[in-house]
Structures are given as structure tokens and as C-alpha cells.
Amino acid sequence: MKNEKKKSGIEPKVFFPPLIIVGILCWLTVRDLDAANVVINAVFSYVTNVWGWAFEWYMVVMLFGWFWLVFGPYANGSGWFLAPMAPMPKRD
């Protein structure tokens, strides 16, 4: 078995395609602002009118999650994800 160090960094297959897509969309928007405005308004209308219910339910679920974290088993700070804190030194 070889001792190979895992190279950390940005994986090009994951990073560059979204960057290229965003660059193309920005270029198209700058090239023809009126057409881009029509498309942006249509997409916004579709998302808010058709998928608005998903956002509302997402907010309801997040509200329940917030109440669970604030008043549930992790409310007193003894959760498994919290490391014990060292005592603070006294200031004279």
C-alpha cells in the first residue's frame, strides 16, 4: 500500500462548469438587457406562483426545527456536538 497524500483543492470538474454557465448567463444579460428582463420576470413569476408553496412549507419546517433546537434536548448546551468549554480565568 502506498503512502499517497491526498491533494486538496478545487476539483476542476465540479468548479468550472457552473462558472462557465454563470459567465455565459452574465454575458447574455449584458448583451441584451431587454430580452434578459423578460426571461428573468418569467422565471420569477413561475417560481413564485408555482413553487411558492414549497418555500412556505420550508419555512414551517425550519420553524419547527428552530423550536426543537431551542426547547428540545439540545437546549441546555449538552448536545453531542458541543465540546465542553474550559473554565474562564478570573480577572483581578
What are the sequence ranges of the domains in the chain? 14-71
DSSP string, 63-91: HHHHHHHHHSTTTTS--TTSPPPPPPPPP
Q: What is the pLDDT of residues 61-83, one digit of tens each?
A: 999 999 998 898 777 765 555 55
DSSP string, 31-63: H-HHHHHHHHHHHHHHHHHHSHHHHHHHHHHHH
Q: How far apart are CA 55 and CA 47, in angstroms?
A: 10
pTM recorded for the entire structure = 0.55
Q: What is the pLDDT of residues 6-60, one digit of tens each?
A: 777 889 999 999 999 999 999 999 999 999 999 999 999 999 999 999 999 999 9
